[in-house]
Amino acid sequence: MNTPLTVVILAAGLGTRMKSRQAKVLHRAGGRTLVEHVVNTALQLAAPERLFVVVGHQADEVRAAVGTPGVGFIEQKEQKGTGHAVMVGRAALAGLGGNLLILYGDSPLLRAETLRRLVAIKEESGAAGVLLSAPMDDPTGYGRVIRDAQGGVQAVVEQKAGTPEQLAIREANMGIYCYGADCFWKHVDEIQPNNPPREYYLTDMVEILRRSGHAVAAMTIDDAREALGINTRIELAEVDGLLRERKRSALMLAGVTIENPPTVTIDDQVEIGMDTVVGPFVQILGATRIGENCRIGAGAVIDNCQLADGVKINPYTVISESRMERGAEAGPFSRMRPGAVMEEGSHIGNFVELKKTRLGAGSKAQHLAYLGDSTIGAKVNIGAGTITCNYDGRLKHATAIGDGAFVGSNSTLVAPIEIGPGAYIAAGSVITDPVPADALALGRSRQTMKEDWARKRRELGRKKTV
Ligand code: UD1
Ligand code: CA
């Protein structure tokens, strides 16, 4: 392709039909904002310097969501329609010549391949422009493609402006166009807001160009789903579903077993190694990377985590921004908050919470514990009910536990505190002073015994025992 290509993505609208305070293109499908999907696809055709996004509603947030450096932004202060959105870009765009590919920021399923074909048709056909169309069972809400007796594209008529006969047409405009830039800019001002909502419709360009003797072609795709434009939350859910399905299929083809796939949610950027098994109702989110031969149990939620090979996550475990090394195991019902690291072969079990804590190789906390701001060595045993008191109401304090230490059940470790390697903490202790290596720390009151107390009480019947 020798003709230079400029891409402009319209993303300024609020999206009234979403019934949201958030701009439509900031809503997420498949784990990314809608605008990110379209930008990423466009970047496969054009360098960032030739890619422009028209922003308006929540312009700063949309700019931030785009992320890629070098992408240009055009501000549309008032949203007066898709035609107006392109018009406001004249200063930035008109001088660039070549072809102008216009996309809407609310069609995240689009594939780069389809756009390439569209541009190629524009080049080969010699038409002034090409639009993408598809037959739809229910095209309600879409513009309809009106053809003349010879089958040539004559106009696009919007839902709100169409006659009953026009609205009966099933060929829908997908909102993707490639125009010869010079011709486009020459005629764009002929778009007028002469329709019920008084908007400048970009779709009017088709008729305008036809009137001045140019041809506009259509490239028809069979499956309209690819260009589905999201207007409502129902469509958002539909597109999210399709993106999730694409992701699951790609992973399964790459050797990941997914049980009951429709119930499993996996974000776009997630990577999973071969022979890992993902159970039903699992969510794997963000930039999570999972190794080979892992087992992710039912209902687990994993957000932005790194899991090495052979890691086992038992059902209903929730972990975020944490790392698990080879063969580590968590759950059922464990929680890892940001900054947790489980070294090789370590285990946490039900109702164990880690936060900013490193659990050394082979160490175990099998039940009911809170370990925060702690560094725990290798082969440590943390008994049920152990709590690190890491917060004094003002500041967080650290706990350090040496290799091979044994922390008895229901211990309360008041940080800052250090427990030496090989030390023992008696069950039920409140530990406030450092425990040297290999020592036994008893931090509890002695047991008192009252011989025969219970028998005497029974004999006294209802009378009060002393
Ligand atoms: C549009 C098309 C319709 C097509 C459909 C495909 C027009 C007039 N209609 O309708 O023919 O079938 O898409 O999905 O183009 N936007 C702006 N500024 C504005 C208005 C909109 O940037 O002033 C952006 C929106 O943020 C959105 C995109 O343009 O990303 C499309 O706008 P939308 O209102 O969704 O158009 P549709 O009514 O769906
Ligand atoms: Ca739309």
Q: List pLDDT tens digits, range 141-180.
A: 999 999 999 999 999 999 999 999 999 999 999 999 999 9
Whole-number Å distance between alpha carbons of 260 and 262: 6
How do beta strands 399-401 and 72-75 pair? unpaired
Q: What are the angstrom distances between the C-alpha of 244 and each of 28, 78, 224, 249?
A: 12, 34, 18, 9
Top mutation candidate among 104, 140, 169 for ligand 1, by most atoms within 8 Å of CB? 104
Copy the structure tokens of residue 17.
């039909």
Which member of 27, 84, 187, 367 is catalytic? 367
Greater confidence (369 vs 2) lies with: 369
Confidence of residue 464 (pLDDT cuts 50, 70, 90): low
pTM of the model: 0.87
Bridge partners for 347 per DSSP: 329, 364
* Ligand lying closest to the C-alpha of residue 35: 1
- C-alpha angle with apex 433: 432 to 434, nearest 5 degrees? 130
For atom 36 of ligand 1, the residue with the nearest CA is 82
Percent of the chain with pLDDT over 90: 95
| pLDDT for the residue 1 | 52
For atom 29 of ligand 1, the residue with the nearest CA is 10
Query: How many A from CA of 199 to the centre of ligand 2?
Result: 14
Residue 57 carries which DSSP code?
A: T
Copy the structure tokens of residue 239.
């597109």
Whole-number Å distance between alpha carbons of 82 and 395: 53
Catalytic residue check, 367: yes
| pLDDT for the residue 2 | 80
Work out which ligand 1 atom sits closest to the CA atom of 78.
Answer: 23
Summarize pLDDT for 357-385 with one digit per residue, the tens.
999 999 999 999 999 999 999 999 999 99
Q: Tokens 């999570």 sit at which residue?
A: 288
Query: How many A from CA of 181 to the centre of ligand 1?
Result: 20
Is the shortest distance between the CB of 84 and ligand 1 below 6 Å?
yes
Work out which ligand 1 atom sits closest to the CA atom of 79.
Answer: 23
For atom 35 of ligand 1, the residue with the nearest CA is 231
Copy the structure tokens of residue 27.
């809503």
Contact predicate 105/11, CB 8 Å: yes
Is the shortest distance between the CB of 184 and ligand 1 below 6 Å?
no
Summarize pLDDT for 97-143 with one digit per residue, the tens.
999 999 999 999 999 999 999 999 999 999 999 999 999 999 999 99
Helices then strands, each counted (H, E), the chain: 10, 39
Name residue 192's amino acid.
Answer: Q
Confidence of residue 196 (pLDDT cuts 50, 70, 90): confident
Query: How many A from CA of 67 to the centre of ligand 1?
Result: 23
Top mutation candidate among 9, 10, 82 for ligand 1, by most atoms within 8 Å of CB? 82
Asked whether residue 395 carries a pLDDT value surpassing 80, the answer given is: yes
Cβ–Cβ contacts within 10 Å for residue 300, how many?
Answer: 24
Is the shortest distance between the CB of 25 and ligand 1 below 6 Å?
yes
Query: How many A from CA of 82 to the centre of ligand 1?
Result: 6
Name residue 204's amino acid.
Answer: D
Contact predicate 436/420, CB 8 Å: yes
Query: How many A from CA of 237 to the centre of ligand 2?
Result: 14
Asked whether residue 423 carries a pLDDT value surpassing 90, the answer given is: yes
Selection from 136, 291, 120 nearest residue 224 by Cα: 136
Contact predicate 377/357, CB 8 Å: no
